[in-house]
Each structure stands twice: as C-alpha cells, then as structure tokens.
Amino acid sequence: MKIRNVGILTFVIVIFFACNNQSNENNSSGLTVAEETQNNFHQLAGETAAIAYSGFRTGQHPDRGDGAKNPTYKQTVEDLQILSDAGFRLIRLYDSGENSEMVLRVIQDNHLDMKVLLGIWLKAELSNHEGCSWLNEPIPQSVLEENKIQNRKEIERGIALAEKYENIVVAVNVGNEALVDWNDHMVPVDTVIVYVEQVKSAIDQEVTVADNYKWWANHGRELAGIVDFISIHIYPVWEEKNIEESLSYSIENIREVQDSLPEAKILITEAGWPSIASEFSEIASEENQQRYLEEMLAWSEANKITMFIFEAFDEDWKGNPENPLGAEKHWGIFNIDRSPKLVMQSKLNHK
C-alpha cells in the first residue's frame, strides 16, 4: 500500500473545528473554548495531534518472559512513513528497550521530521494482587527485587537514549500507569519521585509521568510538583460512556485534574476509542472511533494542548489471546495490516 500525503493532519483538524465551532463552544460540559484557553495546558514540541506508537505485528511481541520478537528495521521505516504521511510529527514510545532504540535510529537515519516522547517502562516493585483483577496470586518477593534491578537499568537506558538522540527526544516519561490502583506493575509513588529526580538531573529534556486522570486528581499533588508537566489518560468508553457523552465527559476528566492541580501543566498522553470490543460491542465501531477522535482533536487544537491518540496500529498480541475481539487489540487508527480505518480514510488518498 502506498499513501500519498494530502496535508498536515492538524490542518484537517482545524478545519473540522471551524465547522463545528458552535457546538464545541456550547458543549454539554458547560466549558467554553474561551474558558479553557485560559488554563494550564501544555503543548509538546508545538504539536496538537500526536500518536502512541508500538509497531508489533502478527507474531511479534515485547518480552513477556521468554524474549521479545521485535519488528524489523524495514517494517519500522514503513510504519513511520505511514504516520509521517498522515501528518504526525510527534510520537510516543513506551520504553527504552531495543525496539524503541531502533525507532529512534530509523528517524535519524531517514531524516524524518518527527519528534519522540520517550518512555521508561517500570516493572512492579509492589504486588498489587489485591487491587488488580488479573493478578491471581502475589508476585513473589524475588521477582519484585529483580524488577527493581531491571527498573534501574531501564532508567539508565532511557537517560542514554535521551542524550544520544537529543535532537529527536523532546521529553521522557517515567512509568506508565504504574500508580493507579488497578495496575499489575505497581511502583510506590515515593520511588517514582526518586526515579523522576534521577532522570531530571541527567538530561536536558522535560520529564513527566503518565497515569490515569483520576489518580492525578486524587493523589498526584506531590508528584505534580516534581515533574515538568503531568500526563493524563482519559478513556470514557472504559467508564461506560456512550459516544454522545464522550466529549463532554472527557473534558470533565480534564477539568477534574485542573481543579485538583491548578499549578500543573497538563498534557494528554492517551485518549482513544476501539473500533471493535467484545467488552462493549454496542458502542465500539469505526464510526464512533472517528467521531470521538475528531471531536477530541478539534477541542485539543482549539485549546493548544497536545493529545496523543491511542494508538497508531492494532496489535493482536495484547489482551486475552483466546479473544480476538477484545478491545486491547483494536485501538489503532490503522488495522494490523496497515490499512487505514475510517478515521484515517477521510484524511488520506490512496494509490
């Protein structure tokens, strides 16, 4: 498949917003554009529309205990060219492992106009078997101790990559959903603060932590005072909201964090809608995915806040291997074969 660039995605988003300005200014949350623009939103690398990227295809996966099977260099070039042609200039990576290093090398080797929010993945340092529904038994203490060693190594890798690719990496994220009470890789907040301070002291780029909006609103005050900006995840579909209320509910989520942390700069590192999901099949569709993302991106553009769409491509290694229709496999705006879903078909011409 060859895709021809038809313009920057954010330009399309601005046009969409202009056509829907009246409805956005009077949305059901009661928040007008003028009110929102006075608040503490953060725009990373000058971009509004950004995307979370993980390039694992069928038969590929990150290390799940028996080693990783990573995408090839050629496949990564193809992926990043697709995203570049779609207008994305800012991507999010989730760790500092071998695959992420290759992504950075591909961007550099091929002179792609693309910046990166680099991740540092933190493994469990506490056993959250009582809070996480899919942890059936405690994580052994020996595993937790080994995880602490691996986390320190991951931090060192992240620092090294941020220094080596300083012209590409614009910020570093330390830990992804390692604090929220339902996760399976929990790390104490005091430890995360130590890790953040270590990374901040070693690199010139901004440093953040990504987690669920509710955690930030309820528990994030101390950490918010340490990071350069806070990174929130919002998923109205997981909170049983239908498409009609999804935009207003997402804005309410953001407002909740603003009210709790008025001094913190805020960025959205995950927001999305699955095209297929056995968990809520009645509201998961490509049409609803398109509507949610276009409305959220229009709002984000108007308010000059970066929003990372979750995610670039479907990934069938995720979730329950016995359930091919599970939501975790179908968040991409492109299918796993790299064909565009409805939200992208309106933005691309095909040859």
What pLDDT does 24 receive? 41
What pLDDT does 29 receive? 41
Reading the block at residue 40, the tokens are 């503490």
Which superfamily, per CATH, for 3-350? Answer: Glycosidases (3.20.20.80)
Phi, psi for residue 280 in degrees, rounded to 5: -150, 65
Extents of the domains making up the chain: 3-350
Beta bridge partners of 52: 92
DSSP 92: E
Residue 138 to residues 2, 129, 176: CA-CA distances in angstroms? Answer: 48, 5, 21
Report if pTM > 0.85: yes
What pLDDT does 4 receive? 33
What pLDDT does 26 receive? 39
Q: Which residue type does 125 have? A: E
Contact of 90 with 114, CB cutoff 8 Å? yes
Contact of 21 with 42, CB cutoff 8 Å? no
Alpha helices per DSSP H over the chain: 9-19, 21-25, 33-36, 73-85, 98-109, 141-164, 189-202, 213-219, 221-224, 243-260, 286-303, 342-345
Helix (H) or strand (E) holding 174: strand 169-176
**CA 278, CA 284: separation in Å to the nearest integer?**
8
Q: Is 87 exposed, middle or buried (0-12, 13-18, 19+ CB in 10 A)?
A: buried
Q: Which residues of the chain have pLDDT under 50?
A: 1-38, 349-351
| CA atoms 317, 318, 321, 325: torsion sign | negative
Q: Which residue type does 8 have? A: I
**CA 41, CA 187: separation in Å to the nearest integer?**
27
What pLDDT does 64 receive? 75
What pLDDT does 66 receive? 82
Helix (H/G/I), strand (E/B), else coil: 71: coil
Contact of 90 with 47, CB cutoff 8 Å? yes
Q: What is the pLDDT of residues 246-291, one digit of tens each?
A: 999 999 999 999 999 999 999 999 999 999 999 999 999 999 999 9
